[in-house]
Structure 1
Amino acid sequence: MSVSEATAAAPLVVADGLVKRFRLGRGEELTALDDVSLEIRRGETFGLVGESGSGKSTVSRALLALLPLDGGSVRFDGVDVHALGRGDLRALRRRMQMVFQDPFAALNRRQSVAQIVAAPLEAHGVGDRASRAQRVAEVLDLVGLGESYRERRPREMSGGQCQRVAIARALALDPDFVVLDESVSALDVSIQAQILNLLNELQQRLGLTYLFISHDLAVVRYMASTVAVMQRGSIVERGTREQLFRAAEHDYTRQLMQAIPAVDPAAERARRRAARTAAAAGAQ
């Protein structure tokens, strides 16, 4: 195996035994993560599913070193991210980005689309004004937003368009790894399908690695090649998409499947039809 082949085969993100506790006062603690381990391969979409409060978002913040750990480690491309100093961590974060659930809340309403997308470039001191403007145009084109959107404000756009802006902002620094935290749950089904198709296209084109977090098993099934199920701060089951959806072993996984109507085969077929229709319709 060549060096390049070995690099491609190695996981991009490795979390080992993550523990995170939050103090609640009066000596009480909440264990948000309890010995969580996972590996995310380069170029794959790793789905993390579970009910609200199961610890999914805490995992994402731990992977990006946005909160300190009480135990365990996170390695990104072989580097222990929680052991880095502030300057080195800042540099590494150019390769790790996040897209949040609510596009309206995640965007600065006072800024234009061009300003929003340029913000990470400015924060990291990338290029001059002309090169930043060129990069903004490039990533807006990647997400299907043309020149006419550059000076718009979030209030002038739909939820789907705002989420495209959020994705463009995440791509501005040319990351390797993108965390998608409930990134389509605030959108209606037809717009969800467009955004999911866009994310798949971007992954193919740019070689991105995704952590896809959702409570919606049907969406996870559509997107992820590997899936882990979280309950009360622990991963209770994991496997390939085919393994998990054909023969779930854990009671909690089966309960999730039974509780969410979207996993119904007819609904899944409807979602796929909507995705095909949306792909032909263009940006909304």
Structure 2
Amino acid sequence: MESNLLKAQSHIWNHIFNFINSMSLKCVVDLGIPDIIHNYGKPMSLSKLISSLPIHPSKKPCIHRLMRIMTHYGFFSQQNVTDNELEIEYMLTDVSRLLLKDNPMSVTPFVQAMLDPVLTNPFHQLSTWLKNEDSSAFETTHGRLFWDYAAHDPIFNRLFNESMASDARLVSDLLIEKCREVFNGLESLVDVGGGTGTMAKALAKSFPQMECIVFDLPHVVHGLQGSDNLKYVGGDMFQEIPQTDAILLKLIDPPFRKVAYMVLT
């Protein structure tokens, strides 16, 4: 009986403190630790890493704890493990290379946007939202719908658009390589909710015979310039979508969404 109770308590504790993992990831990104290790050019000792960080001297011992968490979850690897923790050397992994700011496939903007308080605070209001008529917990928290909020907060709007662009860069090449036959023969395509056009730009370049339209809310596409077979159109997908041969839906219903990369023809 006591064993079962301890397992049950452990299960609850794991769920309580799971947020530490994502917030540790945010901390590592905010401090630029992957870039610091990458720019060092070889395995970097904890002591050298600490001296490279803009932290208060009293917080130095915390970096070892932070790196232990991130190493445990595969963001870094280590060597020269000794009793002297300051001499442990850290290296990047395939995961942390995706956090490098200069990596064309960097997901750093996605991390920063998805873990921003604007998007995390609504989760504290789920029980309140279930008791009212609001369409989302986001509306309960911020008093307006997600897209309306973004339209009135240029800083968050830019952060969110950059996160969507980084996600598109990561998958566009794979989409074009693996699904080329889907696009062959199409004369036109509308990327609904296409943001700043990262995915559509890749498609327009790979399929010059296809006219690509980036369709998003007016404040998202405002001021963006197209090219010969790429143009930006502002509007509301719930009102009307430009006529086309195919519609591309990438990520649906942010920020509480299911990922659905698919082409509807």
TM-score (norm 2): 0.29
Structure having the higher strand fraction is 1
Higher RCO (C-alpha under 8 Å, 6+ residues apart): 1
TM-score (norm 1): 0.27
Structure having the higher helix fraction is 2
**Considering only CA atoms, is the larger Rg found in Structure 1 or Structure 2?**
2
